[in-house]
Amino acid sequence: MEENNGRVLLEVRHLHKCFGKLTVLEDINTTFRKNEVVSIIGPSGGGKSTFLRCLNLLEVPTSGEIFFDGVDICAAKSDINLHRQKMGMVFQQFNLFNNMNVMKNMTAAPIRILGMDKEQAEAKAMELLERVDLADRYAAYPHQLSGGQKQRIAIVRALMMNPTVMLFDEPTSALDPEMIGEVLDVMKQLASDGMTMIVVTHEMRFAREVSSRTIFLESGHIEEDKPSHELFDSPESPRLRSFLDKVL
């Protein structure tokens, strides 16, 4: 696996997050480079989702700094809506807009936020839908789609904004086993196209084979953060070893 030396896209410094008295993240430091695919693994409740949600400020960090393209997005005067446009996010529960069909789901943001015109947005949406084999479902409403279809659409909906980084929070955890493959395939495709991706996942094969780096997050700490093959083949900390014993 080649060493990644793209430019730094996201830099997290001394990130802390508490919910009331509960400290969920404690002094997280890491960087994400352009074109990097990073998996975040760890036991349930360890703070993986919270960490990911801090990156686009769906959760507001208690303290610390997050630099995105060199700008501290936690700073009071930074325009978070602007940063979020460049960070796509895919949720475990898909979260397609239930009141819109597939086409509207995909075109609402580029039209309303980027000011793209309707024809252009729809042409782009069709192109992306074709890429995930769902061009024939453009008029369907979310409740008419299977979980795997919903998640593939959620991914391309995020891509409509041309994000510089994609955040995934357990994108396959809510799926029936037979649908996991189709979503992972889209993500692999995306990775090989050079998208920068940060993926919270329980899919250890994806972490090992697709991501260049894996972070093991446990009880709010980064226990290990290194190239995936190294982390999986020679886990150092006893905690990581016992975690891997359980899941592999």
Partner 1 sequence: MSLEKTILIINRYSSFFLDGIKSTLIIAAFSVLLGTVFGTLMATMRMSRIKPLKILATIYIEFVRGTPLMVQLTFMFYGLPMAGITFPDISFIPNFSRYTAGIVAMSMNSCAYVAEIIRSGIQAVDVGQMEAARSLGFRHSQAMSMVILPQAVRNILPALGNEFVTVIKESSIVSVIGIADLMFRTNDVIALTYRSLECLLVAAVIYFILTFTSGRLVALTERKLSYGRK
Q: Roughly how many angstroms between the first and final C-alpha of the chain, as a whole number?
A: 22
Among 69, 53, 72, smallest CA distance to 13 is for 72
Contacting ligand ATP (CB under 6 A), which of 9, 12, 15, 24?
24
Which residues have CB under 8 Å from 235's CB, separation 6+?
Answer: 224, 241, 244
153 lies in the site for partner 1, by CB under 8 A: no
Nearer to partner 1, 82 or 247 (CB): 82
Cα dihedral 27, 38, 80, 104 sign: negative
Give, for 187, the enclosing helix (H) or strand (E).
helix 177-192
DSSP state of 133: T
Nearer to partner 1, 94 or 232 (CB): 94
Span from 29-37, 38-46, 122-130, 175-183 in contact with ligand ATP (CB under 6 A): 38-46
* Interface positions, 172-231, toward partner 1 (CB under 8 A): none
Span from 18-26, 102-110, 158-166, 233-241 in contact with ligand ATP (CB under 6 A): 18-26
Contacting Mg ion (CB under 5 A), which of 30, 39, 49, 211?
49
Which residues have CB under 8 Å from 132's CB, separation 6+?
Answer: 152, 153, 155, 156, 186
Pattern of binders to ligand ATP over 41-70, x per CB under 6 A?
Answer: -x-xxxxxxx--------------------
Cα dihedral 106, 145, 89, 8 sign: negative
Residue 29 interacts, among partner 1, Mg ion, ligand ATP, none and using kind-specific CB cut-offs from 5 to 8 Å, with none
Q: What gap in Å lies between CA 11 and CA 31, rounded to an integer?
A: 4
Which residues have CB under 8 Å from 119's CB, separation 6+?
Answer: none
Pattern of binders to partner 1 over 93-112, x per CB under 8 A?
Answer: x-xxxxxxx------xx--x
Residues in contact with ligand ATP by CB under 6 A are: 19, 22, 24, 42, 44-50
Residues in contact with partner 1 by CB under 8 A are: 56, 58, 81-82, 84-85, 87-89, 91, 93, 95-101, 108-109, 112-113, 140-141, 143-144, 154, 157-158, 161
Residues in contact with Mg ion by CB under 5 A are: 49
